[in-house]
Structure 1
Amino acid sequence: MRLPALRLPVLRLPVVRPPSFSGRLHDPRTATAIGRWLGTALAVCFLTGLFSHVLQHPPAWLAPYLPPRPVWGYRLTQGLHVGVGLAAIVLLFAKLWAVYPRLFVWPPVRSVRHALERLSVAVLVAAAVFQVLTGLLNIAEWYPWPFSFVPVHYAVAWVVAGSVLLHLAVKAPVIRAHWRRRSAGTRALPDETRDGPDRRALMLGLGAAVGTVTVTTVGQSFTPLAPLDLLAPRHPGYGPQGLPVNRTAAAAGVTQAALRDWRLEVRGPAPYRLTLAELAALPQRRVRLPIACVEGWSADAEWAGVRVRDLLERAGARPGAGVRVVSLEVAGAYRVMEMGREYAEDPLTLLALRLNGEVLSVDHGYPARIIAPNRPGVLQTKWVGRLEVL
C-alpha cells in the first residue's frame, strides 16, 4: 500500500529589487549644476567659520595680533556664515534629490575603488547634513544633544572640507565632462538637449527658493532688510534698549546683591578699585559700533564709557599689554575673556556704561561691559567685575 505523497505549501519569499526611478534630471549634468552652487556655499561657510573660530579661540601666538579693524569685519563674516549656511540647506537637499537614485545601484559595491567612493560619499553626506542641521538649531539656541556644539561643529567642518576635496578628486572626470552646457564632445548629448528646458526650470526654482530663504533671514544682520526678517530667529531691533539679548542676568546667575556692592577691580603693577560713580566721573568716550553674535544677528548701537587702555595705563600697564576680563557670571564658557594688545590699545575698545544714551540695563551688562570693534558678541563680556593686566 502506497501512502499518498504529501504536498507541502511552497513558501515564496518576496524578491527584493532595487527601486526603479523614472524621474528625469537625476543625471550628472543636473548634479554638476547644483554642485557648483553648493560647493561655493560650503566654501564660504568653511572660511567664515574658520575666521569666527580663530577670533573666539585664538592660538596663543596669534592672540596679540588679531586686528580690530575693520570694525564691521565680524559682523560681515558671521552674517555671511549664517546667511549662506541657511541657503546651503536648500542646496544640499536639492543636490541629494538629484543624486539619490545612485544610492540604490545594484550591486551596491562593484570593486574596491567603487566601495571607497561610496564610503567617501557616505561620510560627505552625513557630515554635511549634520553641519547644516545642527547649525540651524544653534542659531535658534536649541541644543537637544549631549555634546558641546562649538568644538564638534568646528571638527566636523574639517571633515566636510576633506570629504568635499576627496569627492572632487574622485568625480573630476564627470564634473569636467558636464561643467558646461556641452559635454566632453563637440555635440550635446541627447538627454541634455531633451532635458534642457526642465533643467533650466529646476535651477530657476532652486534659485527662487534660495533667494526667498536669504531675503527672509538676512535682515537679522543686514539691517536694510530687517522689515523682511520673517524666518530668522532674531530681529536686530527687538530687545531692551533696542538690542537683542542672548543671555540674561538671571540665566548668568548675576544677583542684585552682587550688583549692589559692585566695585571694578583693576589688577596690575599699580592695582586699584573704583565705584560706579568714580568710574562715571572719568573721561567718557562715545563710539558707534556693531555688536555681532555668533548666531548671525547684529546691530549698530551707540556706546559710552571709559577706554580700556586708559584703565590699564592707570594700573601701570606697559605698552603692548593685553587684558583679562572677568565677569560676575557664576559660570559659563565665556565668563573669563582675554584680549590681545591690538584690542586692548584700540581707542574704540570701551568699558561701556551706557547704551544708546541710557544706563546699561541689567540684561545688557549693568553696571559695565566690554565693547570692542571686530569682536564676536560672546567676547563682549557683560557684568565686568575685574580687569587684569597681562
Structure 2
Amino acid sequence: MAQTDKNNHNSDQREAGRLQVLDAIRSAGTIARIDIAGRTGFSPATVTVITAQLLEAGLIEEVTPEPNEKATGIRRGRPRVSLRLRGQAHRVAGLKVSHNNISVLILDFEGTEILSHEMTLPETRMATPLFCSVLIEAVTQACAKGSFTINDLSGIGVALSGLVDAKRRFVYWSSSLTDRNVNLGAELDSCTPCPVFLDNDANLVAKAEHLFGEGRDVDDFIVVTIEHGVGMGIVLDGEIYRGTRGCGAEFGHTKVQLEGALCQCGQRGCLEAYVGNYALLREANIMDRDRPLPDVPTLFNRAQSGDMMARSIFDRAGRMFAMGLANLVNIFDPKLIILAGERLSFDYLHADTVLEEMRRSVVQVDAPLPEVRVHAWGDHMWAKGAAAYAIEQVSAQAVREASSDAA
C-alpha cells in the first residue's frame, strides 16, 4: 500500500472510531468511559485517547454524578466521571416540506428541542429559486423566535417528498418543485451560511422512528408514510437503505393497476394514485361535482355519516393498500412495519378488514407475520427526523475537523 493511501486509511479509521464513540455517548445520554469501551469493543486506553480529543474539540463534556449516599452508602475516592454530548456545541435546523406548509425544528447538539416554527407555503409547487428563498425565509423566521440568526446554525436538514439522492443532494423529482433534476444542495448552499443536507421525507421519518419512536429497539423495520402521497423508509441493520441512485423504497410508486389512475409523478397505476390524499379527493370530486370537497377529513366524516360514495372511495383505498402491504411482506419479510403520519388518525388504512386482507395475500408459512404498528403524528416528527439527519452530518464534519487537528 502506498504511503498516502496508508495515511488516508488510518485517518478514515480514526474518524470512524471517533464517530463510534460519539454515537455511543449519544445513545446512552450519559456514560462512563469504561462503559463506552464495553459498547464499542475499544480498549479503555483507546477510549481515553478518543474522548480526550472530543473534549478538546468541545463536542462532549464531563459530568460528575451527585453522590447518593442513601442508595450507595458513603464512597471513598474520586467519583466516577461520566461523559455526555455538549449541547451548546452546535445548533441545527430540521425542515419538513409538506403540501401546504413548512415545519421547522431547531435542536441543540444533544438533540434537545430549542424551538419550532410553522410557515405557510405561498404555492404548493414552486420553481427552484422561489423554493430556496421560501426555505431560507422559514429558517430565518424560526431563528428570530430564538433571538439568534441563521449564521448561528451548524447545519440544516431538509425532508421533502420525491426522488432524492441524499449523498449528492440531488432531486430527480419532487411534488414540491416544478423543475426536475435539480442540484438542490448546491442551489441552497449559494444562499445559506451553513451546509444543507437533503433526503426523502420518508427516509427521515424512518430515522426519527429509529431514534425517537416505535423503532427505537429494532434494527430492521419498514416505515410506510401516508400523507398527500405515500412514502416508505427502510432500516436495515440500523441504517437507512436508499438504493444505488438514492431512489430506493418508493412504495407509493409501485404499480397496482396496469394503465390505471394518473399519479402526480406522471405515470399511471401507482399505489399512491389510489391511496394518497389528492387521489381520494380527485375521485370524490369527479363522482360528485356538485359538492366539491376541500380536504380528506371532510370526506372521511361523510363516510362515517353513511355517505355510500365516500365509503366506496375509502374501501377501495383500503383494498389497494392491503395489496401493497402484502407485497412488502412477501418481498422483505420485515420484523416490524410502522404506519406513520398524521392521516393515520383516520383508520381506513389500518382497519381490521385492511390488515386481514393483507394477511390473506401474504405467502402462508407456519410462522408469525410481521407486527404492524400505527404511529399517527404530524409534521413535527418529520422535522425532527430532518434535524437528526443534520446532527448526524454535522457530527461527521466535526469529527473530521477534530481528526485533522489531532493529526
TM-score (norm 1): 0.22
Give the number of the structure with larger relative contact order, counting CA–CA contacts within 8 Å between residues 6 or more apart.
1
Larger gyration radius, structure 1 or structure 2: 1
TM-score (norm 2): 0.22
Q: Which structure has more strand as a fraction of its residues? A: 2
